[in-house]
């Protein structure tokens, strides 16, 4: 194999590696974007749960009698 052929082979290998890395980066970026969206949804849910908990604590602290409901397993 001549030196030119070796350089061409190395160039082809580098191009293949670059294409694989580009695909990997795109996949990782997509996964990261999905995870970020999920984190935003979870944060919003946590905020709503905290608000609901604070409202219940305020209701219990104000002297109002909580509704007496049986748990679902009864």
> Residue 26: is its pLDDT beyond 90?
yes
The residue range of the domain holding 48 is 30-56
> Residue 15: is its pLDDT beyond 80?
yes
- Number of Cβ within a 10 Å radius of residue 59: 13
Residue 73 domain flag: no
Q: Report DSSP state, residue 73.
A: T
Confidence (pLDDT) at 20:
98
Total domains in the chain come to 1
pTM over 0.85: no
Mean of the per-residue pLDDT values of the chain: 91
Token pair listed for 53: 């908990």
Rg of the Cα atoms in the chain: 29
What's the average model confidence in pLDDT over 21-48? 98
> Residue 65: is its pLDDT beyond 60?
no
Residue 37 domain flag: yes
Nearest residue to 18 (alpha-carbon basis) of 7, 30, 10, 8: 10
């Amino acid at each position: 194999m001549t030196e030119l052929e070796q350089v061409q082979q190395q160039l082809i290998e580098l191009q293949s590696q670059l294409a694989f890395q580009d695909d990997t980066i795109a996949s990782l970026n997509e996964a990261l974007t999905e995870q970020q969206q999920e984190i935003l949804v979870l944060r919003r849910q946590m905020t709503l749960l905290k608000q609901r908990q604070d409202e219940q604590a305020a209701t219990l602290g104000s002297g109002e009698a909580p509704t007496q409901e049986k748990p679902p397993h009864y």
